Structure 1
């Protein structure tokens, strides 16, 4: 008999609590409790420790971000899925929550909560189950630290910026927001251009990119149609849009596309990696970071077959080892490295390809 997954819903909205309770109680193998704020949640956790918490961020008495920080200070933190509003301040707060240790984000609409929960049942269940599986990794995550060096002035005229002919393609899912910070923060302004897919709802990718842009020495932005892939820039796929790279002469640009899910996701890492294999071939480096499932594994193999260098994050530093494991099992990976070593490996691989060229 499969073990019961214990879920604690912490939300000051009675409508949300009741809707989630009714939805999850119908799922075999799930036990659900609710709390209207973190103080009540604390009391309930003393008698029944949950496997995963579904957490609102804006609540009376104690806000969700403060509660999340308290949870992450525990020796074995309970994994947290954030349920956040869609407004600008709400999306920025949700990105902060990811950097403080939350595993996933679920977007909460202002109206029609019941209909939303019914329509998003599969997404909600997947997020809760993914987070629960990630619990063994949470204690190993390092808190975000702002770079001590002041960011250098960036060129304002793109025509004056040297466009690199090297491309670094990165894919990540569960736990990837923190992994991406650790990968991008030490990148120098002359690093190769990066294109990134992070599985995240569309309402939050812009705030995520802006937050990284504040922390990093390179430019980080949500990708827009026709953006150039160039040195010192990282482009992040918008939520609910696929990202592809195409070559125009000696330069690279991105395409932001609609379409169906690929490998269960939109944006899909496989879509990005396959386009980079076609556009850049041996002039590319592919990196697959922490995440549930196997999105990116097939695409990384295509990149390797096209001559690209390929890197996967190791199990010990992953929140979830699903995506890297799938790529390793397919024979798609040249190097398996701890997260802290990947930045330098990317730069080394790009330099090797530059000398070969």
Structure 2
């Protein structure tokens, strides 16, 4: 078996050594070079042609964002960003994802011991996901570079038109799950939705400290209101609610109203928040009023719950393989019979609205 070749770029020798130790402990990957700055990294990348690069965001001489842009233009390679757990770090991280980075991890704490195994699993899982990624670059101005990476160049979308309040008074709502590649996939869908769309509850695999920044960025570019979910708040049409990075998000009811419920439980399928938890709550509350959407991501989190939700009466859409960064979670859901439709990313919003238009009217509440 050919090992995944990884180049680690970080200005801290301690972090480089720690990352090297974690990567080299795995049977399917190896650190082929480390670099303290982008200039040395550039020579390693040219010489070794790595499968994956881990890239620190904050470095001397040239920051990680500028270097990422150069990598994407000159030698497109799956990149996992290493980010600081700060507001500034979160903003820069999402900029990196927009530029084509596959995923990110937070910078390890050098004094951690109890959580090191979980941290090592997170890093190596993301490296595997990056290696498996069907790489898509949609933001580069140089289309030849995007084509070189196998990218689909997506044209800017026109602002969505309001739907005459057709759905605002209905009981319909949307539950959405995603992981690797999901931040951009979610943006593509939400940007196409009008202000009177049904409410949307979203679980995206993401660490605590990043989900509020993610929601705020989406809120700036979408017509609907996007926010980080809070416990007990009423779920309203024209709103999307993002699961906090350290809590499970569940759909609940309070009388006639839907509400967000946050649960501080154990990880499910190694994730917290977990798509499985969100979709399972949909089955328990009102499955016949739910449209489930499964987007790009590694693994199978949410697949079984999506299949169960469909059996209970939901209508489900899965992202297709060609438009996924990683076709893991949708593939598993499809294999279990959880999908009513399998749709390209840039068509999911349209298919969602078409389905809502077709069923029309106020749906009966069936618990």
* Contact 1:146 1:215 (8 Å CA) reproduced: no
Shift of residue 142, structure 1, vs aligned partner:
5.8
Measure the CA separation in 2 of the matches of 1:351 and 1:284: 14
Q: Which moved more, 1:116-125 or 1:302-311?
A: 116-125
Shift of residue 47, structure 1, vs aligned partner:
0.8
Match of 1:273 in 2: 279
Q: 1:356 to 1:116 in 2, by over 3 A?
A: closer
Match of 1:320 in 2: 326
Query: SS of 2:49's equivalent?
Result: coil
Measure the CA separation in 2 of the matches of 1:278 and 1:115: 35
Shift of residue 165, structure 1, vs aligned partner:
1.7
Query: SS of 1:226's equivalent?
Result: coil
Match of 2:88 in 1: 89
Shift of residue 149, structure 1, vs aligned partner:
4.8
Match of 2:79 in 1: 80
Query: SS of 2:318's equivalent?
Result: strand
Query: SS of 1:120's equivalent?
Result: helix
Query: SS of 1:228's equivalent?
Result: coil
Match of 2:342 in 1: 336
Query: SS of 2:66's equivalent?
Result: helix
Shift of residue 331, structure 1, vs aligned partner:
0.8
| 1:140-166 deviation line (CA, Å, top 9, x unaligned) | 5567987765999xxxxxxxxx66521
Measure the CA separation in 2 of the matches of 1:310 and 1:207: 28
Shift of residue 94, structure 1, vs aligned partner:
1.0
- Map 1:136-147 onto structure 2 (within 5 A): 136-137=135-136, 139-140=149-150
Measure the CA separation in 2 of the matches of 1:106 and 1:213: 23
Query: SS of 2:209's equivalent?
Result: coil
Match of 1:46 in 2: 46
Match of 1:293 in 2: 299
In the alignment, structure 1 residue 260 sits paired with structure 2 residue 281? no
| 1:17-72 deviation line (CA, Å, top 9, x unaligned) | 12212332333343311111112111111110111111111111111011112222
- Map 1:176-195 onto structure 2 (within 5 A): 176-195=182-201
Query: SS of 1:55's equivalent?
Result: strand
Runs of 4+ that moved beyond 6 A: 113-116, 143-148
Any gaps of 5 or more consecutive residues in structure 2? 138-148, 163-167
Match of 2:142 in 1: none
* Contact 1:247 1:253 (8 Å CA) reproduced: yes
| 1:267-293 deviation line (CA, Å, top 9, x unaligned) | 111110111122222111000011111
RMSD: 2.4
Measure the CA separation in 2 of the matches of 1:177 and 1:165: 27
- Map 1:1-12 onto structure 2 (within 5 A): 2-12=1-11
Q: 1:276 to 1:26 in 2, by over 3 A?
A: closer
Any gaps of 5 or more consecutive residues in structure 1? 153-161
Q: Which moved more, 1:224-233 or 1:110-119?
A: 110-119
